[in-house]
Amino acid sequence: MTMDKVGGDTSLESSARAELDLNQFLPYQLNRLADRISQALEKLYAESYELNIAQWRVLAWLSHCDDLTAKKVCAYTNMDKARVSRAIQSLEERGLISRTPSQQDQRQHDLQLTDAGQTLLNKLVPEAQAWEAGLVSTLSVSEYRDLLNTMRKLERQLERIG
């Protein structure tokens, strides 16, 4: 027997290569869509309110969460600590949020919306909701519901598979 017969046909093995069509790869497509949505929203927030995405996310969480710390913002938004810290500092400097030492852990600070922050959100939230409505207007009600349900199923599956 020759080496080719024992080890297989090396010429075929070396010419075959793994390929990945990113246009058919769900992680890539979801990330690309999320990036495009974030960029479009950031343009809206930046032009009208001088906010970036990180700042908007902090404000959005504060709009419906009474007990919020920087650590929780990191967990809820999947943003890194430095990005969240910069967003909080900027929002505090603008008078949109306040920080007070946490009663549970003095190393952390509780975050609260100020009156100015609430006023800003009262303008911004309806605009963001209208923008989202325009984006999803191409979907039927059942398609929109199915999309949200599918995303929740994928989230649960990620939790299961780690």
pTM score over 0.85: no
- Tell me the angle at which helices 115-136 and 53-64 cross, rounded to the nearest 10 degrees: 110
* Per-residue pLDDT at 36: 95
* Per-residue pLDDT at 7: 53
* Per-residue pLDDT at 25: 95
CATH of 21-123, one of 1.10.10.10, 1.20.120.1200, 1.20.210.10, 3.20.20.140: 1.10.10.10
Domain spans in the chain, listed from the N-terminal domain onward: 21-123
* Per-residue pLDDT at 159: 94
DSSP 68-123: EEHHHHHHHHT--HHHHHHHHHHHHHTTSEEEEE-SS-TTSEEEEE-HHHHHHHHH
Q: What is the pLDDT of residues 33-69, one digit of tens each?
A: 999 999 999 998 999 999 999 999 999 999 988 789 9
Q: What is the pLDDT of residues 133-158, one digit of tens each?
A: 999 999 999 999 999 999 999 999 99
* Per-residue pLDDT at 67: 82
Phi-psi map region of 2: left, alpha, beta (phi>0 left; psi -120 to 50 alpha): beta
* Per-residue pLDDT at 106: 80
